[in-house]
Structure 1
Amino acid sequence: MGLKYRGEIDGLRAVAVLPVILFHAGFGLFGGGYVGVDVFFVISGYLITTILLSELQAGTFTLVGFYERRARRILPALFVVMLATLPFAWLWLAPGEMQKFCNSLIGVSLFTSNVLFWRESGYFDSSAELKPLLHTWSLAVEEQYYVFFPLLLMAAWRLGRRRIAMLLAVLLAASLVVAEWGLRRDPTAAYYLLPTRGWELLIGALAAVVLSARAGEGGALVPPRAWMGQVASLAGLVAIAASVFLFDRTTPFPGAYALLPTVGTALVILFATPQTGVGAILGSRFFVGVGMLSYSAYLWHQPLLAFARVRAIGAPSHGLMAALAVASVGLAYLSWRFVERPFRQRRTIPRRAVFVLSGVFLLFFIAVGQGGRMTGGYEAARLDERQIALRKTAEPSPLRDACHTLDSPDFTPPSRSCMYFSGRTTWAVFGDSHAVELAYALAEGLRDHGQSLRHLSFSGCGPVLGLGDLDTPCRRWSDAALAYLLSLRGVDTVVVAYRMNLYLFGEHEGVYPALPDTVGETTRQRVWRSYVDLVTRLHAAGKRVVVVEQAPELRKGIGDLILLERGERIVGVAERWWMRRQRFVRDHLADLPSGVILVDPADVLCDGKVCLAASGGKADYFDDDHLSVHGARKVAGQIFKLAAPSGPS
């Protein structure tokens, strides 16, 4: 088997990296651009396996040599990018986000960032766009794979290529099955973790085994008819393009849908040669040039785009994001020319220097990360006393973790929901995460009357009553929670609190000052009818129902606003924007039964011109849309004025 250079493979790298960059830059045309990572996985599996097979055949393979090549290839440019992010993170990230960034420094250094980001958020969550090192999850997947794969290949080498191919095919199929299962069980885990991604690298490995036995002069398969290679390679390129332009954030991934870009990549690897149309295009100067820069471009693009979003009020302009996408390629050239290329030269930089320098930098980043973890994102060094004091008031409920039900098939049953504090249970709070702090603040007030409160909330779960075609944990919990609540005869007052605008129109983050509208009219009407039905059923059961409208959302998270504005009175959003955002709800409140008590948090959080995020040295929020305990106490005061609890009992 030869190791002849194939320009079309470098060109295929360009096909992988450009859609990823444009997707992360927010260009809707490239809604499936994230599949570029899958293309990279297949290419990596192919190239590394090709080298391993060649060295095993020649008897020259060593694990030390293998990991030396990986270190030379991966670490120098990665270290440069990580170093470059440090001053901007120090200047621009709020302490909470800085602490997460420090966690990611450790995760990247230990090649476990995929596990870290799985635990923190979904890849397509708007908050993920603000993580400068989010993209390193794919490097972690690869390095975890390459801990095991060389050992597997060494152990299986005596079996012969045919049995190796069969073994890889079995592992590939098993991983794909796990990916499909994972999509149904935990989509975020399925996206980030090796067991559900390994099959993509194995597709490339399998292609390498096939070519190692049957490669033609150009390094690809030579079919009996020339047109067959033309058709197969073109079909592969079309499959990748179709994934980029037809997939979007809602596409279930990386299960069966991921077969389209990965099998497409394998077809290009197997059949594209300089004599095919696809091979000629991919082997052109432009594609090869971009492909050679692809690794560095991949490393640079996410920090540039993430920091732009961190600094922007609202969504950065397409012009800015396009400029940063181009800048990532420019920076990629510099790091390729002055970092990647020199470190690949063994004569210039010997093996010992590579390992020593790698160890020093890894320990440095781990130390910086650990320092940030232990100091709350270096809070004391980066904020003044007033900012630190204000941040301390931006606190969620101390019982949030214990009493708020998370989105899981194994959710805590409503019968085991929290009851605050001691005394006769006369009130209940029902809703999503926007009910949590309100429940705690109301319970504090009820405690003075010798009464307690039942807390029923489910994360990200909007009104779903009557939506019989849904079979989700949210729907099952909602039905069970409502039935349980109606069975509690002693509970005479129910407070309903949802982040309704999220379910009616979509997330404001990354869109402000525009108004989001990512929810179709049919869905919007269904959600509103469900909301009205829920309130109606509670009212019809004789409960005193208090409907708390959504608190105004902020233009940025409270931590960012404290860092930016450096004052005790912090503006969250213009009130006129919030009135526009809230218009649908206000126009339809008449649909609720008469006698329902309506409470608008804007009455105590807005002053006619702006809605405040903090005032009097205390924060009313703990992120960009959830009230802090302090803010919730203000709303609880409104509620008690309109629905006073009975006297001590």
Structure 2
Amino acid sequence: MAKSVLKIDLNNYSTPIDGLRAIAVIAVIINHFKEYLLPSGYLGVDVFFVISGFVISSSMINRKYEGSKKFFLGFYKRRIKRLFPALLLTFIVAGFGISFFAKHSIPYVKTGLLSLPGLSNFNLYFSSIDYWGESSKLNPFTHTWSLAVEEQFYFVFPFFVWLLLARNTNTVKGLARLSFVVGLLSIVSVFCFILFSENHPMAVYFLMPFRFWEIGLGCLIYSVLSNPENSFANKTLIKLKSVPIALSILLLLGTFFLPKSTSGITTLLVVVLTFILILQSKLKENDKTDFGIQFLVSKPMVYVGKISYSLYLWHWVVFTLFIWTLGLTWTNLPIILVAIIFTSTFSYYVVEMPLRKQSWRKNTKPKITFAFMFIPFFVFIGFLKFSSKNPFFLGKINEAKITYTDSLKAKSIEKKCNTIRVFGNSHAVQLRFMLGTIAEKHDINLIIDKKKEDYVLIPYGDNKHISKLEDELNKLHKNDILIISSRFHYLYEIPYLNGQGEVENQKSIKIEKGYGLEIWIKEMNKVLELTKEKGINLILILPNVEFDVNIPKGELCQEQWFRNIPSDCNVSVSRKYIDSRFPDEWYDYLHTKEKNNSHFYLFDPINVYCPNDGDCYLKVEGIKAFRDTHHLSKEGSYLMIEEFYEFLIENNLL
């Protein structure tokens, strides 16, 4: 009995592939709009990688070899015509757009510029951009990292094809050699992907070597389908052909709903399922009885697939510009969709297809179109290059600031203090603007350690720095001031948020590292004793506001005529939460010591930042007082200058 051998057409355009592209781009768009709708929808990009590998290998291998010069020049010319015109238009529009609405647009424009030669992924990686972080959503060119990965693969892959296959007359052996090399490199790549995912997630995400296996797997599809005489391959393909393609589509869609925390395994699943779907699509592309294949070749899916490149380019730009202006909200969704559809279809029909299909050598129209696109490009780059500030910004430049110099009325008294020394961590550093103004007013020397390695953390509840105390105090003289301003979070009885809004439970840290109230009090007693002996005045800054939610950063919270301020910009926290952080024993100890030591003073800043007994807000008197969950901004530190200055005068410390 003759063996049944599958016959697969690898020379003609495959319509179901457009259906797969449609699934991929729709998944990406949904995820980018609201992540919770499709947590792993961003992996639609990985679907594109596998498709790209298959399409590019099919195109190169099926093309007649006419010498190395035509081989390489022809390939890169086709890639440039396919990708560059639409990308250039996107850069021009998005570059102007972000410059209109972002005061500091240069870092974003830099990413866009580097996307043109296919290097934006390096820029994003070396800028320490977290793809899932808030900062990535503000850059209209973040999504170009995937184009850069593909372009870098395209730079390498043609050399493999030329070296191992194109120059050889024996196509079967050449294809086997090419498949072996690509397969081997893909194994190394996927091994590195798994190995480095946990400790170097952004390198794995942005850099091509860690993505090679995905595009490489797409390339191997051609090899599998082109050799049906192979007994094992033939049997496997026959079995695969019997599996309903709708099942594979449903499994792929299901992976998009998996949580982002499973990204490693989900990526592997998406890539393998895409590999299977492309195989099934080629096996069944003419099967009119298969529901799955008919879904993929339906007119809406094919249309979305054909414009998927433009959709991918423009959806992120539109989303980003709405984030900077009206907001990426459900209310604005109709306008957002209209904007995406308009920009994508315009780009596809006016730029992408005409410049891709027409001969640039014989026809002057694409040359003129391309030349006209470069005029605004050079104008835009020229303005940004030779201007000290963003000349296109449409908003107001200056934020509300505090006028403080006239409010500090220096008393005509004999100067007592020559030096103000500040002990503490970043909560000491944040006072440098406010204290610097007072010190300058009275010609006083101010000493604050700005580098973390120079901090003097006394008291801190760990006894690590107490040995430095006498040496530090010997640098001061009678009537000088020592200020203690630290975040004593190791004394907390409840979990707290760090500056990034992440919850940390100090109970376990206190046990593991030996931090604690008892040690802190012993350190503080030593400070009180030695400062009293030397006649040094001691001020302890009591705990200030701490927010129990993350603080939004950047320009989005600055009021502009074109911007709807996000609701989370002026976050609040209850005074009750703030007062509950430290044990009552700690407060009782401090107030007792203040009462019994004439050189010891407590300054409570919280009344400045929480003028009412209810909630405390990020903004005070129109000023953004805090830059994260517990650090004052520069302007925020000035908010307390009058009260602190009066505190110093009333206690006769200056």
Q: Shared fold (TM-score greater than 0.5)?
A: yes
The separation in 2 between residues aligned to 1:15 and 1:641, in whole angstroms, is: 66
Contact between 1:131 and 1:306, CA under 8 Å: does it hold in 2?
yes
* 1:151 alignment partner, one of 151, 155, 159: 159
Contact between 1:222 and 1:229, CA under 8 Å: does it hold in 2?
no
Q: Matches of residues 214-229 of structure 1 in structure 2 within 5 Å?
A: 214=228, 223=235, 228-229=240-241
The separation in 2 between residues aligned to 1:139 and 1:427, in whole angstroms, is: 51
Contact between 1:211 and 1:270, CA under 8 Å: does it hold in 2?
yes
Residue by residue, what CA displacement relative to the aligned partner does 1:563-620 show, whole Å, maximum 9, x if unpaired?
5499xxxx99999x6444776445545568224668556725879999686989x986
SS of the residue corresponding to residue 452 of structure 1 reads: strand
The separation in 2 between residues aligned to 1:166 and 1:329, in whole angstroms, is: 42
The structural deviation recorded for 1:269 is 0.8
Residue by residue, what CA displacement relative to the aligned partner does 1:411-439 show, whole Å, maximum 9, x if unpaired?
xxxxxxxxxxxx999643335xx775446
The separation in 1 between residues aligned to 2:421 and 2:67, in whole angstroms, is: 78
The structural deviation recorded for 1:34 is 0.4
The structural deviation recorded for 1:373 is 5.4
2:353 is matched with 341
330-339 or 27-36: which moved more? 330-339
* 2:109 alignment partner, one of 102, 107, 117: 102
Contact between 2:145 and 2:206, CA under 8 Å: does it hold in 1?
yes
The structural deviation recorded for 1:493 is 5.9
Point out where structure 2 has 5 or more consecutive residues left out of the alignment.
1-8, 404-417, 454-459, 473-481, 525-539, 591-601
1:629 is matched with 634
Contact between 1:112 and 1:140, CA under 8 Å: does it hold in 2?
yes
Q: Percent identity?
A: 22
Contact between 2:196 and 2:204, CA under 8 Å: does it hold in 1?
yes
162-171 or 601-610: which moved more? 601-610
1:140 is matched with 148
Letter paired with 1:3: N
After TM superposition, the score normalised by the length of structure 2 is 0.71
> Kindly tell me: are residues 57 and 223 of structure 1, through their superposed partners in 2, closer, same or farther at Cα, counting changes over 3 Å?
farther
Q: Does 1:495 align with 2:485?
A: yes
The separation in 1 between residues aligned to 2:424 and 2:342, in whole angstroms, is: 54
The structural deviation recorded for 1:11 is 0.3
Q: Matches of residues 75-94 of structure 1 in structure 2 within 5 Å?
A: 75-93=84-102
The structural deviation recorded for 1:67 is 1.6
Residue by residue, what CA displacement relative to the aligned partner does 1:145-172 show, whole Å, maximum 9, x if unpaired?
2112212221222462222112111211
> Kindly tell me: are residues 198 and 542 of structure 1, through their superposed partners in 2, closer, same or farther at Cα, counting changes over 3 Å?
same
Letter paired with 2:202: T
1:561 is matched with 558
The structural deviation recorded for 1:132 is 1.7
Q: Matches of residues 489-638 of structure 1 in structure 2 within 5 Å?
A: 489-490=469-470, 494-497=484-487, 526=505, 536=517, 539-543=520-524, 546-550=542-546, 557-558=554-555, 561=558, 563-564=560-561, 578-580=571-573, 584-589=577-582, 593-594=586-587, 595=589, 599-600=604-605, 603-604=608-609, 627-635=632-640
Q: Matches of residues 354-433 of structure 1 in structure 2 within 5 Å?
A: 361=373, 365=377, 368-369=380-381, 371-372=383-384, 375-379=387-391, 382=393, 388=397, 427-430=422-425
The separation in 2 between residues aligned to 1:195 and 1:25, in whole angstroms, is: 29
The structural deviation recorded for 1:358 is 5.4
Q: Which is greater in Rg?
A: 2
The structural deviation recorded for 1:324 is 1.7
1:298 is matched with 312
More helix by share: 1
1:170 is matched with 184
Q: Does 1:46 align with 2:54?
A: yes
The separation in 2 between residues aligned to 1:424 and 1:104, in whole angstroms, is: 47
Q: Does 1:194 align with 2:208?
A: yes
Letter paired with 2:292: V
SS of the residue corresponding to residue 447 of structure 2 reads: strand
The separation in 2 between residues aligned to 1:289 and 1:188, in whole angstroms, is: 33
The separation in 1 between residues aligned to 2:605 and 2:250, in whole angstroms, is: 53
Residue by residue, what CA displacement relative to the aligned partner does 1:452-482 show, whole Å, maximum 9, x if unpaired?
3345669xxxxxxxxxxxxxxxxxxxxx996
> Kindly tell me: are residues 592 and 559 of structure 1, through their superposed partners in 2, closer, same or farther at Cα, counting changes over 3 Å?
farther
2:124 is matched with 117
* 1:329 alignment partner, one of 341, 344, 351: 341
The separation in 2 between residues aligned to 1:91 and 1:498, in whole angstroms, is: 43
Contact between 2:496 and 2:506, CA under 8 Å: does it hold in 1?
yes
The separation in 2 between residues aligned to 1:536 and 1:454, in whole angstroms, is: 25
The separation in 2 between residues aligned to 1:321 and 1:507, in whole angstroms, is: 32
2:76 is matched with 67
The separation in 1 between residues aligned to 2:554 and 2:88, in whole angstroms, is: 29
2:447 is matched with 452
> Kindly tell me: are residues 204 and 539 of structure 1, through their superposed partners in 2, closer, same or farther at Cα, counting changes over 3 Å?
same
The separation in 2 between residues aligned to 1:528 and 1:225, in whole angstroms, is: 59
> Kindly tell me: are residues 110 and 392 of structure 1, through their superposed partners in 2, closer, same or farther at Cα, counting changes over 3 Å?
farther
The separation in 2 between residues aligned to 1:507 and 1:452, in whole angstroms, is: 25
> Kindly tell me: are residues 184 and 224 of structure 1, through their superposed partners in 2, closer, same or farther at Cα, counting changes over 3 Å?
closer
Residue by residue, what CA displacement relative to the aligned partner does 1:243-269 show, whole Å, maximum 9, x if unpaired?
210132x444xx554111111111111
99-108 or 630-639: which moved more? 630-639
The structural deviation recorded for 1:354 is 5.8
The structural deviation recorded for 1:46 is 1.0
The structural deviation recorded for 1:87 is 4.5
1:128 is matched with 136
The separation in 1 between residues aligned to 2:420 and 2:184, in whole angstroms, is: 57
SS of the residue corresponding to residue 469 of structure 2 reads: coil
User: How many pairs align?
Assistant: 564
Contact between 2:424 and 2:485, CA under 8 Å: does it hold in 1?
yes
Q: Does 1:244 align with 2:256?
A: yes
Residue by residue, what CA displacement relative to the aligned partner does 1:70-126 show, whole Å, maximum 9, x if unpaired?
122112222333333344334322x21x22232233222232222222215211111
SS of the residue corresponding to residue 185 of structure 1 reads: coil
The separation in 2 between residues aligned to 1:199 and 1:584, in whole angstroms, is: 50
SS of the residue corresponding to residue 156 of structure 1 reads: helix
Contact between 1:443 and 1:452, CA under 8 Å: does it hold in 2?
no
Letter paired with 1:14: A
The structural deviation recorded for 1:325 is 3.7
Contact between 1:430 and 1:456, CA under 8 Å: does it hold in 2?
no
The separation in 2 between residues aligned to 1:292 and 1:263, in whole angstroms, is: 23
> Kindly tell me: are residues 279 and 602 of structure 1, through their superposed partners in 2, closer, same or farther at Cα, counting changes over 3 Å?
farther
The structural deviation recorded for 1:24 is 0.8
2:408 is matched with none
SS of the residue corresponding to residue 257 of structure 2 reads: helix
The separation in 1 between residues aligned to 2:148 and 2:575, in whole angstroms, is: 42
After TM superposition, the score normalised by the length of structure 1 is 0.71
